[in-house]
């Protein structure tokens, strides 16, 4: 490495926490020096006494290729000739205490297949992308006023060859993408794909933050997956975990013999409930590492967004801790002020470098302005998972319908805060695992009622303001909860109820995408009007969804009991003729077929605060969508 002015400036920015592409300075990069091809290595290890590069090429002997410490900046460097793509390596680090340790490269772009832990030299910018049209279109798309339905996916348990033997990213692309496209989803969200040692951590406890997991292939194989998604018109979101990292010896823990990436204060470093370590968000070099990492995934893999895991665990010092196991901040509060500042800084950097991407926060508390810009005091995300809606709705749906009238507020309360953030309505993997039961099996009643409840819930979800997310398997009514060591129960599609449910989700998506009133004003008060939120006795709610033009309003009526009601009066916003254009009770979907087949003409008598009303049949455990098709003559 030539220590020139540009390099010195990058080092300066790195130590200031402002180097947004630190992965181009650090790590292993094929290069040439004095006309000789090889690989240059650079690693940040300020507390190390000596660092060497070891691998098969030198019989893992640290005496062969020692690195040079560049000035006092803590960065070690060497160039090794005649190495190439695919070379396995680690850093041998001699600590102040005289211990030798072997560490994977924090900036490695590829890693050995677990249980092996070496880093692998893999050059950037060799893949030839074919998604120019998608990337250009993304620049001009207003995501807030567009349909968004996300299919959350864990690759290894969607479908596999046999236990712990997986398809490649390319093979998954050829199977998953046509399936998701056919169902009408707009995005795929992948559980974390950063390199991780333990399958059952699902990627949430990583060791290699810059390496896409080798379980399913190479970095270019994953680029093919993203590229093909874009060619099919599907966006890709990656679950990203900057909150903590695992303690495996070859990873970031005490990287150079001292706390480096983690806090040196155990009260702040330890995530006891997960057995992991928290990043030191106040350390500038860690900020450069994490901000560069987010930009790396968005830039180098053309990802359309990141879903940031466990934000609450970052911003609260007492998250998951008992009373005496944490220390308050300088003002006596429980907020991790360094983490809050880091998150704001990160989001500002990302939207400057990667405009029009999605930054989604899984934030489970009432922290204000999560999805608001930093210049008005927000955290700077553009979306937040609506965990309150999810918890309330699942609690409500799990009740026997006879008890739902006593808890009617669970389906109406969300509208008090629905427009305080830009929300995603998530039914994620966390809700269908560890004894929580599958979405279908949460539903009460007999076999038919379970499916009817599921259809009603999904229709209500798609009618409710906010973007949508559904975990794999829910789309065809998997009975068993998510089994992370098995693949989905695809054989269920041989049964009518499950095949009909899959068709229902397909048709619901088509209907959703065809109706601007269901997504154009998701984040505006004007996009939603209650008709009647008060009918708790019959567990019926009705409301209006508006598009920006207000010309294609939808009247939506939801019945959460198995009772059928005829000649039910619903106040409607305008006079004329209304038709039922979608019903979750359709016989095509396995419903009872209690439809409103004939147009319904308004009756000029006030009802539910409206000047006119219609009379309709209310189907059991179902949601009906009505549209005004003509005005009164």
Q: What is the dihedral of CA 481, 487, 493, 494, to 10 degrees?
A: -110
Q: How far apart are CA 194 and CA 314, in angstroms?
A: 19
> Which residues, at least 6 apart from 150, have a Cβ–Cβ distance to it below 8 Å?
185, 186, 187, 188, 189, 237, 424, 467, 468, 469, 470
Pairing state between β 383-385 and 358-361: parallel
Q: How far apart are CA 552 and CA 243, in angstroms?
A: 43
Q: How far apart are CA 164 and CA 431, in angstroms?
A: 24
Residue 100 vs residues 92, 94, 119, 256: alpha-carbon distances, Å: 7, 5, 18, 10
362 is catalytic: yes
C-alpha of 173 from chain center? 18
Which of 575, 580, 579 is closest to 632 using CA atoms? 575
Residue 227 vs residues 128, 235, 240: alpha-carbon distances, Å: 9, 10, 19
Q: How far apart are CA 267 and CA 147, in angstroms?
A: 43
Q: Which of 220, 304, 338, 362 does the annotation list as catalytic?
A: 362
86: buried, middle or exposed (CB in 10 Å: 19+, 13-18, 0-12)?
exposed
Q: How far apart are CA 330 and CA 633, in angstroms?
A: 70
Alpha helices for 102-239 (secondary structure H) = 132-140, 155-158, 169-183, 219-231
User: In DSSP terms, which residues pair with 306 in a beta bridge?
Assistant: 238, 359
494 is catalytic: no
Q: How far apart are CA 488 and CA 508, in angstroms?
A: 22
Q: Which of 105, 220, 280, 309 does the annotation list as catalytic?
A: 309
The DSSP line for 458-526 is HHHHHHSSSEEEEETTGGGT-SSPP-TTS---GGGGGSHHHHHHHHHHHHHHHHHHH-GGGTTTTTSGG
So which residues are the catalytic ones? Answer: 309, 362
């Amino acid at each position: 490495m030539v220590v020139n002015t540009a390099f010195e400036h990058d080092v300066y920015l790195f130590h200031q926490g402002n180097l947004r592409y630190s992965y181009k300075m650090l790590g292993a990069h094929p290069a040439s020096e004095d006309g000789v091809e090889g690989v240059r290595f650079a690693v940040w290890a300020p507390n190390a006494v000596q660092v060497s590069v070891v691998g098969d090429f030198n019989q893992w002997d640290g005496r062969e290729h020692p690195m040079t410490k560049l000035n006092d900046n803590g960065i070690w460097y060497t160039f090794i000739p005649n190495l190439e793509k695919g070379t396995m390596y680690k850093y041998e680090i001699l600590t102040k205490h005289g211990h030798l340790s072997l560490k994977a490269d924090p900036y490695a772009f590829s890693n050995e297949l677990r249980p092996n832990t070496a880093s692998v030299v893999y050059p950037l910018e060799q893949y030839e992308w074919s998604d120019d049209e998608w990337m250009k279109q993304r620049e001009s798309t207003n995501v807030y006023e567009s349909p968004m339905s996300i299919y959350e996916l864990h690759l290894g348990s969607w479908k596999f060859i046999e236990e712990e033997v997986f398809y490649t990213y390319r093979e998954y692309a050829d199977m998953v993408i046509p399936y998701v496209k056919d169902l009408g989803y707009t995005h795929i969200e992948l559980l974390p794909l950063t390199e991780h040692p333990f399958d059952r951590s699902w990627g949430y406890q990583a060791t290699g933050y810059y390496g896409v997991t080798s379980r399913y292939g190479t970095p270019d194989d994953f680029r093919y997956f993203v590229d093909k998604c874009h060619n099919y018109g599907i966006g890709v979101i990656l679950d990203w975990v900057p909150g903590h990292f695992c303690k495996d010896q070859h990873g970031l823990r005490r990287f150079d013999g001292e706390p480096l990436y983690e806090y040196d204060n155990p009260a702040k470093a330890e995530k006891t409930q997960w057995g992991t370590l928290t990043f030191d968000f106040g350390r500038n070099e860690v900020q450069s590492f994490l901000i560069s990492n987010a930009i790396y995934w968005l830039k180098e893999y053309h990802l359309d967004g990141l879903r940031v895991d466990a934000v609450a665990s970052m911003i609260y010092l007492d998250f998951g801790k008992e009373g005496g196991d944490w220390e308050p901040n300088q003002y006596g509060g429980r907020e991790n002020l360094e983490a809050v500042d880091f998150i704001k800084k990160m989001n500002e950097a990302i939207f400057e470098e990667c405009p029009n991407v999605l930054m989604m926060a899984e934030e489970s508390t009432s922290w204000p302005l999560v999805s608001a810009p930093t210049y008005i005091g927000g955290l700077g995300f553009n979306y937040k998972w609506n965990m309150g809606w999810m918890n309330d709705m699942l609690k409500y749906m799990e009740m026997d319908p006879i008890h739902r009238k006593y808890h009617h507020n669970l389906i109406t309360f969300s509208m008090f805060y629905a427009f305080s953030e830009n929300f995603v309505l998530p039914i994620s993997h966390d809700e269908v695992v560890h004894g929580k039961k599958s979405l279908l099996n949460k539903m009460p009643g007999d076999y038919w009622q379970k499916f009817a409840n599921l259809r009603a819930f999904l229709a209500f979800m798609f009618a409710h303001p906010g973007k949508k997310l559904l975990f794999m398997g829910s789309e065809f009514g998997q009975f068993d909860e998510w089994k992370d060591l098995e693949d989905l129960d695809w054989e269920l599609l041989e049964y009518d109820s499950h095949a009909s449910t899959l068709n229902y989700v397909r048709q619901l998506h088509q209907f959703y995408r065809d109706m601007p009133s269901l997504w154009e004003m998701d984040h505006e008060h004007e996009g939603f009007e209650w008709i009647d939120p008060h009918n708790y006795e019959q567990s019926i709610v009705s409301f209006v969804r508006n598009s920006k033009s207000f010309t294609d309003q939808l009247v939506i009526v939801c019945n959460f009991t198995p009772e059928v009601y005829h000649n039910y009066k619903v106040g409607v916003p305008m006079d004329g003729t209304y038709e039922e254009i979608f019903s979750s009770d359709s016989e095509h979907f396995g419903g009872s077929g209690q439809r409103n087949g004939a147009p319904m003409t308004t009756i000029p008598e006030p009802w539910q605060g409206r000047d006119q009303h219609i009379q309709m049949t209310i189907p059991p455990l179902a949601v009906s969508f009505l549209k005004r098709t003509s005005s009164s003559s």
